[in-house]
Amino acid sequence: MNQITSNMTRANGSKHGWSLAGEYYKDPAIFQKEIDKIIFNTWIFAGHVSQIPNTGDYFLFNLLDESAIIVRTNDGSIAAYYNVCRHRGSHICKEDSGNAKRFLCPYHAWSYDLDGSLFAARGMPESFDKSDIKLHKCAIDFIDGMIFVNFNDNPTSLENAKRNLAPALQMYDFKNMKVAAHKNYPIAANWKITLENYQECYHCAPSHPEYALSHTLKVELDKFDVLQQPMLSRMETCGIKEYESYKHFDQQEDGQEQYAYSRYALFEKYKTGSQDGEQLAPLLGNIKGFDHGASDFSIGPLTYMLAYNDHVVVYVFTPTSQLTSACDIYWLVRSDAKEGVDYDIEKLTWLWHVTTLADERIIVDNQKGVNSKKYTPGPLADMEDSIESFITWYLSAIKE
Ligand code: FES
Ligand SMILES: [Fe+2]
């Protein structure tokens, strides 16, 4: 049963349909609970396998006090280790990415093989048994070439997400993609303000003139269904099937990570998320044309994928401290697409770069107001119903 309709009030006793109280954005004790129960207890997109094609290729995935080394090992598999030396704890890798035959700790020069085992530890006594010592493994899993990391030692399962999203993911063939661009946007606001802003499109018409020209999500709900019809009639000839959409936040099964899928129309002039409406990159996977639609996927509360027919934009929202957060955006294109020939980086990244800069501005202003002693919860609009789902889920997730 839907949590929202099954409870009269939320887990903290607050009324449905109102924004969160100010303490949830400012109280350090609440932030610590969020880290333990949500941030370090969820699967987060860390990158794509195409970023580390060769043995020894690695990159770091950093989140608050944790850092994971994601590496292609000697047997071709990909592993994740905590970036913590087993001697006295120094970070081992300091470069964001690179290639290593072995990992060498910069402090006292202990070295580790790519399988995490200790290879050498200089000047240690005879009695020291290095076979006992390995880098700590970090939970890692894969969905069609996308790498997910979880800082919980007993993470939730991604199996339901994989199984139920498989038909929709298959259309795009995420395995055969590559990262054409990655940008990090630091935002001076609590992570929930950043995430709440992404959840709703009530702000899109006034804040995103570029986005609002092409994406129908900015229209009121009663007009939205009418705009879907031309897309629905074109989908089949483009090789795109309709799949049941899964609701985020209010449909989390025990022991399973949450996930969601839905498809919506772009305005008629737009084939994809471009400035002029024209194609930006080669069609993905099995897609045969442009139905003028886009698909939204989510995995866990922090990772979102917006799949156009010719490219995918992945958004990852994370806290960097209680009052700061980051939005990491990855632009994925077909793996054989050539930069400068098949796609232009400036054109590919234009929409979500300008949109994210505008989002940063409104999110920071939101945090400034929430910091005031006069901030109190305000009523949510119908177009903000996903914020209600998020808040209701969030309050039960951090409950003791
Ligand atoms: S802390 Fe790494 S070798 Fe000493
Ligand atoms: Fe926005």
- Among protein residues, the one with the nearest Cα to ligand 1's atom 1 is 88
pLDDT digits (tens, 9 = 90+) for 112-164: 999 999 999 999 999 999 998 999 999 999 999 999 999 999 999 999 999 99
The band of 250, judged by pLDDT with boundaries at 50, 70 and 90, is low
- What DSSP line would sit under 182-246, residue for residue? EEEEEESS-HHHHHHHHH--TTHHHH-HHHHHHBGGGS-HHHHHHHHHHHHHHHGGGT------B
| Identity of residue 53 | P
Q: Is the CB of 111 under 6 A from ligand 1?
A: no
Helical (H) or strand (E) element with 305: strand 303-307
The band of 89, judged by pLDDT with boundaries at 50, 70 and 90, is very high
Domains of the chain: residue spans and CATH? 3-42+158-397 (3.90.380.10), 44-141 (2.102.10.10)
Q: Give the separation between CA 398 and CA 180, rounded to whole angstroms.
A: 36
Cα of 386 vs centre of ligand 2, distance in Å, is 14
Q: Give the separation between CA 323 and CA 367, rounded to whole angstroms.
A: 8
Residue of 81, 85, 93 best suited for mutating to test ligand 1, as the one with most atoms within 8 Å of CB: 85
Judged against a pLDDT cut of 60, whether residue 1 lies above it is answered with no
What is the CB-side half-sphere exposure of residue 346 using CA atoms within 13 A? 1
Q: How far is CA 166 from CA 75, 253, 296, 298, in A?
A: 27, 18, 14, 13
Judged against a pLDDT cut of 50, whether residue 2 lies above it is answered with no
Nearest CA among 79, 6, 118, 88 for reference residue 393:
6
Residue with tokens 């800069």: 357
Q: Give the separation between CA 385 and CA 228, rounded to whole angstroms.
A: 19
Give the strands of the sheet with 293-299, arranged side by side: 177-187, 324-334, 312-321, 303-307, 293-299, 259-265
Residue of 105, 122, 128, 133 best suited for mutating to test ligand 1, as the one with most atoms within 8 Å of CB: 105
Q: How far is CA 87 from CA 59, 92, 108, 112, 139, in A?
A: 22, 11, 8, 11, 22
pLDDT digits (tens, 9 = 90+) for 279-313: 999 999 999 999 999 999 999 999 999 999 999 99
- Among protein residues, the one with the nearest Cα to ligand 1's atom 4 is 108
Judged against a pLDDT cut of 70, whether residue 19 lies above it is answered with yes
Q: pLDDT above 70 covers what percent of the chain?
A: 96
